[in-house]
Structure 1
Amino acid sequence: MDLAYLRAHPQHLPTFLTHQRIRETPVGGGVCQASRLTLDDGSSLFAKTWPSDPAPEGMFAAEAAGLAWLREAGSVPVPEVLVALPDLLAMEWIEPGEPSAAAAERFGHDLAGLHRAGADAFGAGWAGYIGPLRLDNTPETGAWGSWFAARRLLPYLRTSSDRGALSAADVAVVEQVINTIESYGGQEPPARIHGDLWPGNLLWGADGRGWLVDPAAHGGHRETDLATLALFGGVPHLDRILAAYQEVWPLAEGWRARVPLHQLHLLLVHTAAFGGGYRSAVRATADTVLRG
């Protein structure tokens, strides 16, 4: 199988893998099993499968739709999806490189361009996933704050509470954030965002650019992507990314104070998916939001 054959017959990829007709090398892949596939013409692909069968319904379709939508903007580089099947996703292989100040500045410019491509509404036209969890992408054209509270905070707060990852006191603090969310400002039209842009989902390529992978793409608030880049140790050269971003599309007044609010969604996803190990981060972030 070469790349031309694969483009013409993407449905045949699982059969070739089952019969070991393609060289497969395991690589890191987060919640999925991931591998590098080497085709007969020397081309490489990045492939993802779910650790057990079947994969969650619609998960790979959601990722493929998000990648294509981000790629349409023609700003930040996004891998091309070559195979999107219910239990398998394969895309072009991006040769990894090292982060540099120059790459960070270009990424900041590119990310602003992506966000400016916009969206018709908050949410998306497909059912979403974030990590292993479903993501409610029901489109809405009202205010961002109420949409963010209902679609991005409350569902994962409930799941976190139900599984015992947060205490009653923790839940009460986050509920206070939800109930007062309109007071935090940041009202902007929907931007075209990655939606799960923690540092692990920014791939530094050997071409000197930052590539977007593993999106939970939707129409959202542009500050969300920038805020989550600072999570879990932060992306390299974040200051250069932010400065370059502001050269293209300056952020609204008070954006720094809103960083914890935007981070709260992804932290609640972690308590919902992975348990109480992230409880202290959720509580500290919610407390920071309330302190203003």
Structure 2
Amino acid sequence: MSALAAAGAALLGGRLAQARPLGGGDLSEIVAIALADGRTAIVKGSPAPRTEAAMLRAIAAAGAPAPAVLAASDEALVIAVLPADGGVGTAWGDLGRVLARLHATTGDRYGWPEDYAFGPVAIVNRVADDWPTFWGERRLLVNVPHVPAALARRIEALAADLANRLPARPPASLLHGDLWGGNVLVAGDRVSGLIDPACYHGHGEVDVAMLGLFARPDRAFFEAYGPLAPGHAERLAIYSLWPALVHLRLFGSGYRTMVERCLAAAGA
């Protein structure tokens, strides 16, 4: 039995009877556990379990589905097991409704009370009153020291022009922050839970851009979510650039083409 499984059982105050590793955790260990008294749970070795717990609670408080947080410590996050017998492709319409509900919850400023991380890649969430400043400084320029010089120059030029490309003060929507198909649990044609969040407040199109980076949401999604404002194509490219840069830093040069494609689509 893994140390993570044992930590989860201890947090629940039960005796561990069974544990099995779960796939999909590229950056964190995840295990399903069963206790001797019949209870089951998912235990995750999050980079910051208490912070992730707060994010899951925020998603649930917004009226979007998320696994209940059963316990959290500095080492482990324990969450409820949710039904998940389908894929996001069967639930585009419901995901559009879920995301619209999430984004209807807004904050006063852009960012989040705490920084976070994707593995070794820091997510800087220091709040800002101006959206282009937040995106330029916290999401693009922080990557400049970690990418090849040719890409760095293009990123710097784009960041310097964001005031002309992004809305100054869009609604500061509650964002999932890492919304790709693997982080959407589906049961039948309904979303049963949004998992593995990296929440902060920002322009809702950020989540839409991330969702479209590895999948193609269909018409049902956009009909349910609502129309995007004019000029969204360029903005989606700018917003897709950040996860592309994260993938480049985490997984290597195979993602350089994705970064370059986003830059080109953004006119940078």
Shorter-chain TM-score range: 0.7 to 0.9
Matching residue's letter, 1:217: C
The Cα offsets for residues 122-155 of structure 1, whole Å up to 9 and x where unpaired, read as 00112322344221111122x2111101011111
- From 117, 130, 143, the equivalent of 2:105 is 117
- From 89, 96, 100, the equivalent of 2:84 is 96
- From 36, 42, 49, the equivalent of 1:60 is 49
The 1:15–1:239 alpha-carbon spacing in structure 2 relative to 1, beyond 3 Å, is same
> How far apart in 2 are the matches of 1:32 and 1:218?
20
Preserved contact between residue 122 and residue 139 of structure 1 (Cα < 8 Å): yes
CA drift of 1:194 comes to 0.5
Preserved contact between residue 60 and residue 89 of structure 1 (Cα < 8 Å): yes
Specify the SS of the correspondent of 2:245.
helix
Indicate the residue corresponding to 1:87 in structure 2.
75
Matching residue's letter, 2:143: Y
- TM value normalised by structure 2: 0.88
CA drift of 1:225 comes to 0.2
Pairing of 1:41-52 with structure 2 (within 5 A): 41-49=37-45
Matching residue's letter, 2:60: R
Preserved contact between residue 84 and residue 192 of structure 2 (Cα < 8 Å): no
The Cα offsets for residues 187-224 of structure 1, whole Å up to 9 and x where unpaired, read as 41211110111222122135832521111101011000
Preserved contact between residue 97 and residue 207 of structure 1 (Cα < 8 Å): no
Indicate the residue corresponding to 2:139 in structure 1.
152
Instruction: Specify every segment of 5 or more residues in structure 1 that has no aligned partner in the other structure, as ranges.
Output: 1-9, 51-55, 162-166
Specify the SS of the correspondent of 1:209.
strand
The 1:138–1:157 alpha-carbon spacing in structure 2 relative to 1, beyond 3 Å, is same
Preserved contact between residue 86 and residue 189 of structure 2 (Cα < 8 Å): no
- TM value normalised by structure 1: 0.81
Indicate the residue corresponding to 1:265 in structure 2.
242
The 1:131–1:118 alpha-carbon spacing in structure 2 relative to 1, beyond 3 Å, is farther
- Are 1:71 and 2:69 matched, yes or no? no
CA drift of 1:22 comes to 2.9
Preserved contact between residue 184 and residue 191 of structure 2 (Cα < 8 Å): no
- From 178, 186, 190, the equivalent of 2:159 is 178
Aligned residues: 260
> How far apart in 2 are the matches of 1:60 and 1:216?
12
> How far apart in 2 are the matches of 1:22 and 1:127?
36
Identity %: 31
* RMSD over aligned Cα atoms: 2.4
